[in-house]
Structure 1
Amino acid sequence: MGPTRVLTKDGGFGTQMTVHVGNAVDGDPLWSARFNATNPAAVINTHLDFLQSFPLILASIGPYGAHLHDGSEYTGAYVDDVPLKEITDWHRIRIDACIAAGVDALAIETIPCQAEAEALVEMLCDDYPEVKFWISYQCKDESTLAHGENFADVARSLWELLGERNARSKCLAIGVNCVHPKFVTPLFKSLNGNTPDAEKIPLVAYPNSGEVYDVAKGWQGREHCVPLASYVSEWSKLGAKIIGGCCRTYARDVRLISESVKEHNNLNRLI
């Protein structure tokens, strides 16, 4: 894989939206989607906060469980009962709409289970062979997907599947998002820690800020968070090619990540 340049990803859309609408996002049953109808100008301005720095546009393709409104997107429990074809058929409608809108690639993200990710990759290989994408898992600790599978085993299995389908060039990265940042390094070490640079699987990381959500009190612990920008060098050495933020990361946090990424890329040019 070698020391190629790292890309910066944006941060938390719902988090940045609070700059424009105040603290009216968290706790809403529709979350930030509420404002598509009630305050579309805030939606546009939130996108612009990030788009001023980033020309590529990826469509967010989140997990099947997110539409069930039962919290199962955080466990992946639905995959034990719902046929995979039903899951991919549900995804297909949104993927078609996003591709028709002209996005540059798909961010298959916050996927809590192995079966859903692999079914999506099979579908993309069969029906969308020209579409680029990344696959990002949700993990509950430093080694395990939300559904219970081992992250390193799942990531290797997916990479092998991509190889069998001649599709590695279409996959921008495999990684994690919406996790505590302290989990990213051990997760990536478990996969790429003992692998030569040329053989490392390209990775993507966009964790949460490190805050913890309390239903009664909201987000807690901002004062103890380590800036995500400080992890850029560490994660890039483990194979991260795309680094950004998820929940509770603002445009200002992403600007700091971008500055660290630029410094990293400039150093790599000298190697």
Structure 2
Amino acid sequence: MSSLLSEFLEKSGGVAIVDGGLATELERYGADLNDPLWSAKCLVTSPHLVRQATIQGFKAKGLSEEESEALIKKSVEIACEARDLYYKKCDKKDIDDSKIPKHRPIFIAASVGSYGAYLADGSEYSGDYGNAGTLDFLKEFHRRRVQILAESGADLIAFETTPNKIEAQAYAELLHEEDVKIPAWFTFNSKDGENVVSGDSMLECASVAEASDKVVAVGINCTPPRFIEGLILSIKKVTTKPIIVYPNSGETYDPVIKEWVQNTGVPDEDFVSYVKHWWKAGASIFGGCCRTTPKTISGIYNTLSERSVSSGETNN
């Protein structure tokens, strides 16, 4: 499985870019995400907009299990359709060459958020699940969604915003118990630049990912940009896998009103200024999480392209 991502990185000049804050864009297009389903609400109300969620979350909204599972599958289908449309544009020969996008390989990553994201109480930013935070419970909570996504047509599974070590262990065991045929990456979130948000050691959490041959990358997401460089250096101590980083803007999420409330985030220009430091520290996959924009991702691309030129590498 590791060869899949290694070959992808080799073809892309040693670096790759992931997308930015989808929920931020959904809100910009008028979606009201003040809802326990968050951005997955759009799979029900605006399926042309979109992101996957939990089966349990959809059922809590009154959908049947069959309908809930169908929406999980649909989230991946929509992403694959978007990729196909991009490839068709790349293949067009009847328009001005300047309007034809450069054909680049695209992977579809099926997102699996934490149990805390389903609770919609902000516990994905604390990792405190109370009595529910047992290995067996978390495995059963995630099991069916992982099964569906593994067969959905996605290229890999992205286990994101993982707030504690036990949930990472649950993911790792599920990947092997279900004999998942596509690779995965694990990313964790931190609020102090040393540990994951629960207080568990980042080194121990990254080691869980390192120990699984199903996991092809490990890193950090939904974490303030100022902490990323130090966390990369820490993770490098325990992993040989590619390191992926997609921080948030640095703002603070209020779980009560379900909004980002402190307008103290890092501007796109300043966010992008960190990128070369992250690359030099050892990261090879870059993107943005909550409150980042298409401008952020464009800036990351331009920065990494400049790096490639200055170092004599080819960035595809």
Q: Confirm or deny a common fold (TM above 0.5).
A: yes
Superposition deviation, residue 74 in structure 1 = 1.6
Equivalent in the alignment of 2:216: 172
Structure 2: distance between partners of 1:223 and 1:149: 26
Q: Distance in 2 between matches of 1:181 and 1:157?
A: 24
Unaligned runs of 5+ in 2: 1-5, 52-77, 87-103
Aligned twin of 1:11? 20
What's the TM-score, normalizing by structure 2?
A: 0.70
| 8 Å CA contact retained: 1:8, 1:261 | no
| Structure-2 residue corresponding to 1:60 | 111
Distance (Å, rounded) in 2 between the aligned partners of 1:5 and 1:144? 28
Conserved? CA contact 1:135–1:174, under 8 Å: yes
Count residues in correspondence.
256
- Hey, what does 1:28 align to over in structure 2? 35
CA drift at 1:94: 1.0
Pick one of 221, 231, 240 that aligns with 1:187.
231
The residue that corresponds to 2:177 in the other structure is 126
Matched, 1:144 2:198: no
Please report how far the alpha carbon of residue 243 of structure 1 lies from its aligned counterpart in structure 2 after TM superposition.
Answer: 0.6
- Kept in 2, the 8 Å contact 1:201–1:239? The answer is no
Output the CA distance in 2 between the equivalents of 1:247 and 1:223: 12
Identical residues among aligned pairs (%) = 32
Is the 8 Å Cα contact of residues 13 and 47 (structure 1) preserved in structure 2? Answer: no
2:17 aligned partner, one-letter code: T
Give 1:270 shift. Answer: 4.2
Alpha-carbon offset, residue 209 of structure 1: 1.4
Equivalences for residues 1-271 of structure 1 within 5 A: 5-21=14-30, 24-25=32-33, 27-43=34-50, 52=86, 55-78=106-129, 81-159=132-210, 161-162=211-212, 167=213, 170-192=214-236, 200-213=240-253, 218-222=261-265, 227-270=270-313
* CA-CA distance at 1:43 after TM superposition: 3.5
Structure 1 residue 132, shift from structure 2 partner:
0.6
What amino acid does structure 2 have at the position aligned with 1:240? A
Structure 1 residue 5: Cα displacement: 0.7
Deviation per residue, 1:78-122 (Å, 9 max, x gap): 276433122112212111222222000000110000111022112
CA distance in 2, matches of 1:265, 1:239: 15
- Assess, with a 3 A threshold, how the Cα gap between structure 1 residues 42 and 153 changes in structure 2: closer, same or farther: closer
In the alignment, structure 1 segments of 5+ residues that lack a partner are none
Q: State the TM-score, normalized to the length of structure 1.
A: 0.81
Rg (Cα) greater in structure: 2
- Confirm or deny: 8 A CA contact 2:160 2:221 kept in the other structure: yes
* Secondary structure, aligned partner of 1:21: coil
Aligned counterparts of 2:309 and 2:130: Cα–Cα separation in 1: 43
* Cα distance change on mapping 1:80 and 1:112 into 2, 3 Å: farther
SS in structure 2 at match of 1:60:
strand
Deviations 1:14-56 (A, max 9, x none): 001123216x33x333322222222223339x969x8557721
Q: 1:38 to 1:156 in 2, by over 3 A?
A: closer
Aligned-CA RMSD value: 3.1
Relative contact order (alpha carbons < 8 A, sep ≥ 6): 1 or 2 greater? 1
